[in-house]
Amino acid sequence: MKGFLHSVMAVVAGLGMWGQIAVQQGAAQQIDTQQSTRSVVIHAGHMLDVKTGKLLSDQTLVIEDGKIVSIGDSAGAKAPTNALRLELPNATVLPGLIDAHTHLTMDPKFGYEELGVSIPRQALIGAKNARVTLEAGFTTVRNVGADGFTDVALRDAINAGDVPGPRMLVSGPLLGITGGHCDNNLLPYEYHAEGYGVADGIAAVQHKVRENIKYGADLIKICATGGVLSKGDDPQASQYTLEEMKAIVADAHRLGRKVAAHAHGAQGILWASEAGVDSIEHGSYIDDAGIAEMKKNGTYLVPTLYLGDWFLENAEKNHVPDFYLAKAKAVMPVARKNIAHAFASGVKVAFGTDAAVYPHGLNAHEFAVMVKLGLTPLQAIQAATVNAADLLGWPGKVGSLEPGAWADIVAVDGDPLKDVTTLERVKFVMKGGEVVKNEYGK
C-alpha cells in the first residue's frame, strides 16, 4: 500500500501545477457527490403547503439522495442519526420557485447594442445569470429563447455540475416568420441578417421544430404575433398562420415537446390556443374570445408584468431606441387591464417574468404585480409552484414539498400569504438537497 501511495504522489508531482489542480478538483467533486447522498434534515418553524394554502408550524423535512423522503410534525419525526441538520426555526419554507419565462443568456441590452453580443459571450452571460437566478430562490426555469443553442449548453453545464444554476427546460432559437418579432430586423438588406429560428410555411416550420429538437431543445417557442422589443412589426398583428402553428404543435407534441407562444395580439392568442399551444406568453391584448378558447383548451397564460415598471423607469438610462419605447408605452399599460380581466375570468396562470428585459435576480418582483391585478398571494405563489410545475410537465418533482419531490426548497422571514413581497428577500435556497444559500446559518 505504501508503495502504491508513493507511486501516486510521484505521478501527481510529475503532472505539474495544472495536473495537481485537476486531481484536487476531482477529489472535490468526489466529496460533493458524497455530500449530495448524505441525509439532510430541515427543521422549519413554518412550512407553506402550496396546494392547500395551509401554513403548518414546526415541521421536519427529511431528505435523502436529493429528494424529500418525509415531512411531518417535528414532535414525531424520525430522522437518521448521521444526517446534516439545518435549523430554520424562525423561517417559513416553501418549494423552490419556478419562472416559466426567462432568457438567462441575455441581459438588458436594447436596439443596436444587441448586435455587439456574440454567441460565446451570451453563453458566459448565461452562466452569470443562472447563479443569480438560483440565489434569488428560483430553482427551476423555462428558458424560452436563446441564440445559437446557448441555453442548451448552459442547461447541460448546470446538469454536469460545471456551473451553479437552476434546473432548466430550454427552447433553443425562437421560431418566427421572416421580418417578425423573432427575426433580426435591425440591419439593412445588404447584411442578409436572419434570426436563427426563422421559418416560413408548413414544411419549413416542421423542419425547424425537428432541427431544434435534434440540437437539444426541451420545448418549442414560437412567435404568434409581433412584439415590443423588435423593429418594424406590430404587437397586435398575427404573424404565424393558424395552419403553420397547427403544424408546429403537431410535430412538437408528437415528439414529446410542449409549445410556448409569444402572443400579444388578440387574434394571435386565439389562433395559438386553437392550434394547441401549451402556453400563451405575455397576452397583452387578450380578449373574451381568447380567454374562452384558452379555458376550453386548458392553455396557460404566462403574463410578464413587472418588466413594464422597470423598463419604462429605466428606458432613458438604458438608451432604449424610440422605435422600442413607443411600442412599450402603448402596450404595457393596456396589458395590465387585459391581464386583470383574464385573471378575474379564471384562465389558468403560470408565473413568468421575461427576465433579461430587466436584470436577472429581480424575478420575484412579479408577485406583487400579480396580486395588484387581482390574484391572491396564494394564487400568485401557486402560479410559481404547482401551476408552473404542471405547465413544465414536472408535477410532483418540482413546485411542491412532498415525498418523492426533488428537495428544492426556499425560506423567507414572515408569512408570504400576508406579504408576498417577502419572496423578494429569499434567505435560504436548497436545490436537490444541496444548500445554495443560507443567511440563517446552521
Q: What is the pLDDT of residues 163-220, one digit of tens each?
A: 999 999 999 999 999 999 999 999 999 999 999 999 999 999 999 999 999 999 999 9
Longest dimension (CA), the chain: 79
- What sign has the CA pseudo-torsion 99, 102, 104, 107? negative
pLDDT digits (tens, 9 = 90+) for 291-334: 999 999 999 999 999 999 999 999 888 889 999 999 999 999 99
pLDDT the model gives residue 59? 97
Q: Where are the domains of the chain?
A: 40-95+400-438, 97-392
pLDDT the model gives residue 318? 87
User: Rounded to a whole number, what is the distance in angstroms from the first to the last CA of the chain?
Assistant: 39
Burial label for 352, CB within 10 Å (0-12, 13-18, 19+), is buried
Distance from C-alpha of 121 to C-alpha of 19, rounded to nearest angstrom: 28
Close Cβ partners of 313 (under 8 Å, ≥ 6 residues apart): none
Residue 31 has pLDDT above 70, yes or no: no
pLDDT the model gives residue 82? 86
pLDDT digits (tens, 9 = 90+) for 106-133: 999 998 989 999 999 999 999 999 999 9
Residue 22 has pLDDT above 80, yes or no: no
Distance from C-alpha of 19 to C-alpha of 12, rounded to nearest angstrom: 7
Share of the chain above pLDDT 70, in %: 91
Q: What is the CATH number of domain 40-95+400-438?
A: 2.30.40.10
In whole angstroms, how far apart are CA 189 and each of 147, 184, 193? 21, 11, 8
Distance from C-alpha of 64 to C-alpha of 407, rounded to nearest angstrom: 9
pLDDT the model gives residue 442? 55
Better-predicted residue by pLDDT, 26 or 393: 393
CATH second-level architecture of 97-392?
Alpha-Beta Barrel (3.20)
At residue 38 the predicted structure's pLDDT band, cuts being 50, 70 and 90, is confident
Residue 21 has pLDDT above 50, yes or no: no
Distance from C-alpha of 440 to C-alpha of 442, rounded to nearest angstrom: 7
Phi, then psi, of 182 in degrees rounded to 5:
-95, 5
Q: What is the mean pLDDT of the chain?
A: 91
Take residue 411 and report the three cell numbers written for it. Answer: 425560506
